[in-house]
Amino acid sequence: MLDFYELQTDEHTQIAEFYENLDDDRLTTTQCTDCGEIHFPPRIVCPECTSDDLEYVNLPHEGELFAFSEVRGGLPLGLSEHDVPYVVAAVDLGPVMLSARIDDAAYDDLEIGDPVSLKIVEIDGPTDHERVFYRFEPKEESSA
């Protein structure tokens, strides 16, 4: 739900490609080319077979709410009282389930199973480097 890497470059993290892909509006993760397992968050070694032969694969940009809660206090580093309340959720994307912040929605307006769409955001931080991370927002209903 939060980005803990101050710098998202090759020299600072071994999953820099994840952030490069996010910056290109692509949500990706790693898949082991030996056993086929898909992992989230991205890994540098497969936790199933211990292979380091992994490749980045695209994840869907749409999913549904599996579970959610509202954060009202006990804020993580970098957030202020102006950032609460906000919704966090387990989002089912099909191949993986991940945790994410849900923007543009109040807790009382959401239900399990609601469709959500990927939202890439720029995040502020302790460095002057540009950084991005993922969130989701309620999927807009299309009019038929």
What would the pLDDT profile of 5-61 be if each residue is shown by its tens digit? 555 555 556 788 998 999 999 999 999 999 999 999 999 999 999 999 999 999 999
Q: Is residue 1 part of a domain?
A: no
Cross-strand bridge partners of residue 135? 119
* CB atoms near residue 69 (< 10 Å): 10
Q: Is residue 125 part of a domain?
A: yes
Q: What is the separation of C-alpha 41 from the centre of its chain, rounded to a whole number of angstroms?
A: 8
Output DSSP code: residue 84.
Answer: -
| One domain, residues 55 and 66 | no
Nearest to 57 by CA among 99, 18, 16, 103: 18
| One domain, residues 53 and 66 | no
Structural domain of residue 102, as residue ranges? 60-138
> What's the whole-model pTM score?
0.83
